[in-house]
Chain A
Amino acid sequence: MIKFILRKTGKLASLLIAISLLSFILVSNSPEDPVQSYIGAEISRISPEQRKNIEEYWGLNRSKPEQYLLWVKAVFQGNLGESLIYRKPVSEIILERFSASIVLMGISWLLSGVFGFLLGILAGMNEGSILDRFIKSYSFIMASTPAFWFGLLLLMVFAAWLNWFPVGLASPAGSLAGEVSLIDKLKHLVLPVATLSIGGVASIALHTREKIIEVLNSEFIRFAKAKGERGIKLFWRHGLRNISLPAISLHFASFGELFGGAVLTEQVFSYPGLGQAIVKAGLGGDVPLLLGITLFSVVFIFVGNFMADLLYVVIDPRMKIKQTHD
């Protein structure tokens, strides 16, 4: 177990180094001028000396490897730097944005997990029926529909035409943070959450369907039937356990897709989460913020995968043995 955690931590460390290096190279070679994005339209008003001072202040006059190492050193001291466009510490922005995103992603994750699992069970238990074919086609269509496209569709129908839900943002525009009611917050969440979860059920439903068909045709279900077990008891004792473990694990491993979907969905709904921030950072050449969020998302996705693996190691008796052997 300790070995398992150590191995995973090592993996995470090397992943972080590789990804930070890669994104650093990419952004520092982008044509975007960080000074310009910092100053904005006023750029023409500053003198070359002033510009030089700013560059010096940020260390932009040093060589690229030096810049990277400086940044790594700062990260190790717990300092992710300061965002150029928001003019606030990166860690503060991440915290603020993430708490908005986690509500969106968390609710969608739970909803798509529960409904995907139920749909999968319904389809698999009735293999070949109309219901099964309907759920299967739905899932296939949803799996190949980009989240942002679906988000735009919802936005058009429910926000623009029907006017049931607000068009965007996390709270009514112009209102102060303290005054936003819970109802208002929820109203703003409905469409983005729907966008993420209506499509998010696809993979979990298809996977659960496959698994349940496999389990229903398995030798151990045949034997359990021969032993006189049937109906709900049979499903509870032998079916559910055997399908829920892989389903939960798969769902944890889908944090990456969840994050990717959230980035686009937040963009569509102008939802002030991490996804929106990373897009702004990328477009605005805000290197510290971009790197900060990238690192954070790597950790986030990694945690999902780690949970998925951990679940197997802790719960599945078959893995437990293997793990103690190596």
Chain B
Amino acid sequence: MNKKSFSNTKNQIPLLEVKNLSLLFPQYKEGLKESYIQVIRDFELTIYPGEIVAVVGSSGSGKSLLADSILGILPDNAEIMGRLLFNGEHLSTKRQQQLRGKSISLIPQSVKALDPLMKTSKQVQSVIPDKKAKKRIQEEAFIKLGLPPETGDKYPHELSGGMARRVLIATAMVSESELIIADEPTPGLDELTWEETLTNIKQLSKSNRGIMFITHDIHAALKIADKIAVFYAGETLEIANKEDFSGKGERLRHPYTKALWLALPENNFKPLKGNHPESDEVLIGCVFEKRCPIATEFCKTNKPKSAKINNGITRCFYA
């Protein structure tokens, strides 16, 4: 197996580098005084070519908006801060516009992402630059993904959920993109389709493409990802290697990651109490403080910075 960790990819230029990314939405509350809700805080992530990095976070933690930030398709009122680098180059709004659909592609979260009034083949072909070969390339991709040839002539509503997913994956497959952002491609799939989808995504990384695999399914993340970024309340709480998820989670650095690991059925099912903070909640100290089993008074008022520990990154005073 090709085991990639921080050590053997270090001297390569990263495909994608996200540094101190923050995302805010203006919100009008009392009177005319403008206030903001912060959906992403100080987010960081690095993806190398051929690497699958999972971004694991619960619902509403800002994962889809993270994808939108990288693609440059945020709503108009969003305010974004921080640095995005693609192949070492600054990813400006203009650059994003040039690259999306070409060098960066998205596998969207919902099968509703297919235009209900357009045949699937057309929707897939629209990302293929070679006008003459596009029919052939699209058909080949469908065959590779096990879609019957007539699928191309169908409209989205005529497909099953699993087939629609594969059509979405086909769009990324036929594009010449170097980076693929897969936004939760697995929810609601049966066991078999789940496995298949993951295999297909894994397959996409074989051609030296980098993949950002957004999910709330730790199992899926562990199955195909090389690195796992744990996302909580818009922050990266930990970036761990796949191997760190083992035993009782001794090698995991952050209390939240440990709790996630221990909540899995095979690890005695210990659920984590409490809820993910609301997007408009003001968090002064550590974002995990309310649910953290080892929190102290200090954590309430001070924000931990991210630090490198054991070949990984974490954001906790007591890691």
Binding site for B on A (CB under 8 A): 218-220, 222-230, 237-238, 241-242, 245, 316-318, 321
Chain B 265-298 per-residue mask, 1 if CB under 8 angstroms from chain A, else 0: 0000000000000000000000000000000000
Chain B 124-154 per-residue mask, 1 if CB under 8 angstroms from chain A, else 0: 0011000000000000000000000000000
With a cutoff of 8 Å between Cβ atoms, the chain A residues found around residue B116 in the complex are 220, 242, 317-318
- A321 and B115 CA atoms in complex are apart in Å by 17
With a cutoff of 8 Å between Cβ atoms, the chain A residues found around residue B155 in the complex are 317-318
The verdict on B117 contacting chain A, using a C-beta distance below 8 Å, is yes
Chain B 213-239 per-residue mask, 1 if CB under 8 angstroms from chain A, else 0: 000000000000000000000000000
Q: Is the CB of A218 within 8 A of B108?
A: no
**Contacts A230-B97, A321-B157 given; does A224 touch B105 at CB 8 Å:** no
The verdict on B106 contacting chain A, using a C-beta distance below 8 Å, is yes
**Looking across the interface, which residue of chain A has its beta carbon closest to that of B104?**
A226
Q: Is the CB of B117 within 8 A of A241?
A: yes
Q: State how many angstroms separate the Cβ of B46 from the closest Cβ of chain A.
A: 22
**Contacts A242-B117, A316-B117, A318-B155 given; does A229 touch B112 at CB 8 Å:** no
With a cutoff of 8 Å between Cβ atoms, the chain A residues found around residue B118 in the complex are 237-238, 241
**Looking across the interface, which residue of chain A has its beta carbon closest to that of B98?**
A228
The verdict on B4 contacting chain A, using a C-beta distance below 8 Å, is no
Binding site for A on B (CB under 8 A): 68, 71, 73, 97, 100-102, 105-106, 108-110, 112-118, 126-127, 155, 157-158, 171
With a cutoff of 8 Å between Cβ atoms, the chain A residues found around residue B100 in the complex are 225-228
Q: State how many angstroms separate the Cβ of B166 from the closest Cβ of chain A.
A: 15
- A230 and B101 CA atoms in complex are apart in Å by 11
**Looking across the interface, which residue of chain A has its beta carbon closest to that of B154?**
A317
With a cutoff of 8 Å between Cβ atoms, the chain B residues found around residue A321 in the complex are 157-158
Q: Is the CB of A226 within 8 A of B117?
A: no
Interface contacts beyond A222-B68, A242-B115: sample of 9 additional A-B pairs, CB < 8 Å, sorted by A? A219-B110, A220-B116, A223-B106, A225-B71, A228-B102, A316-B117, A317-B155, A318-B157, A321-B158
**Contacts A318-B155, A321-B157, A321-B158 given; does A226 touch B71 at CB 8 Å:** yes
Q: State how many angstroms separate the Cβ of B205 from the closest Cβ of chain A.
A: 19
7 A-B residue pairings within 8 Å (CB atoms): A226-B101, A226-B106, A226-B108, A227-B127, A228-B102, A242-B117, A317-B155
Q: Is the CB of B102 within 8 A of A224?
A: no
With a cutoff of 8 Å between Cβ atoms, the chain A residues found around residue B117 in the complex are 241-242, 245, 316-317
Across the interface, A220 reaches (CB within 8 A) one of B102, B109, B114, namely B114
Q: Which 3 A-B pairs have the closest CB atoms?
A: A228-B101, A223-B113, A226-B106
- A321 and B113 CA atoms in complex are apart in Å by 21
**Looking across the interface, which residue of chain A has its beta carbon closest to that of B102?**
A228
Across the interface, A223 reaches (CB within 8 A) one of B102, B114, B157, B158, namely B114
- A218 and B101 CA atoms in complex are apart in Å by 18
With a cutoff of 8 Å between Cβ atoms, the chain B residues found around residue A238 in the complex are 115, 118
With a cutoff of 8 Å between Cβ atoms, the chain A residues found around residue B157 in the complex are 317-318, 321
- A230 and B116 CA atoms in complex are apart in Å by 18
With a cutoff of 8 Å between Cβ atoms, the chain B residues found around residue A220 in the complex are 112-116
**Looking across the interface, which residue of chain A has its beta carbon closest to that of B100?**
A228
Q: Is the CB of A223 within 8 A of B108?
A: yes
Q: State how many angstroms separate the Cβ of B222 from the closest Cβ of chain A.
A: 27
- A155 and B100 CA atoms in complex are apart in Å by 57
- A226 and B100 CA atoms in complex are apart in Å by 6
Across the interface, A225 reaches (CB within 8 A) one of B73, B112, B158, namely B73
Q: Is the CB of B127 within 8 A of A218?
A: no
**Contacts A220-B115, A237-B118, A317-B117 given; does A226 touch B110 at CB 8 Å:** no
Q: State how many angstroms separate the Cβ of B69 from the closest Cβ of chain A.
A: 12
Q: State how many angstroms separate the Cβ of A238 from the closest Cβ of chain B.
A: 5
Q: State how many angstroms separate the Cβ of B254 from the closest Cβ of chain A.
A: 31
Q: State how many angstroms separate the Cβ of B182 from the closest Cβ of chain A.
A: 12
- A225 and B113 CA atoms in complex are apart in Å by 11
- A218 and B156 CA atoms in complex are apart in Å by 15
With a cutoff of 8 Å between Cβ atoms, the chain A residues found around residue B109 in the complex are 219
**Contacts A317-B157, A321-B158 given; does A227 touch B126 at CB 8 Å:** yes
- A224 and B126 CA atoms in complex are apart in Å by 9
With a cutoff of 8 Å between Cβ atoms, the chain A residues found around residue B73 in the complex are 222, 225-226
**Contacts A225-B73, A227-B101, A242-B116 given; does A219 touch B108 at CB 8 Å:** yes
**Looking across the interface, which residue of chain A has its beta carbon closest to that of B126?**
A227
Q: Is the CB of A219 within 8 A of B105?
A: no
**Looking across the interface, which residue of chain A has its beta carbon closest to that of B101?**
A228
- A224 and B106 CA atoms in complex are apart in Å by 10
Q: State how many angstroms separate the Cβ of B67 from the closest Cβ of chain A.
A: 8
**Contacts A227-B100, A229-B101, A321-B157 given; does A219 touch B126 at CB 8 Å:** no
Q: Is the CB of B113 within 8 A of A222?
A: yes
Most chain-B Cβ atoms within 10 A of its Cβ — which of A225, A230, A241?
A: A225
With a cutoff of 8 Å between Cβ atoms, the chain A residues found around residue B114 in the complex are 220, 223
Q: State how many angstroms separate the Cβ of A51 from the closest Cβ of chain B.
A: 66
Q: State how many angstroms separate the Cβ of B131 from the closest Cβ of chain A.
A: 15
**Looking across the interface, which residue of chain B has its beta carbon closest to that of A226?**
B106
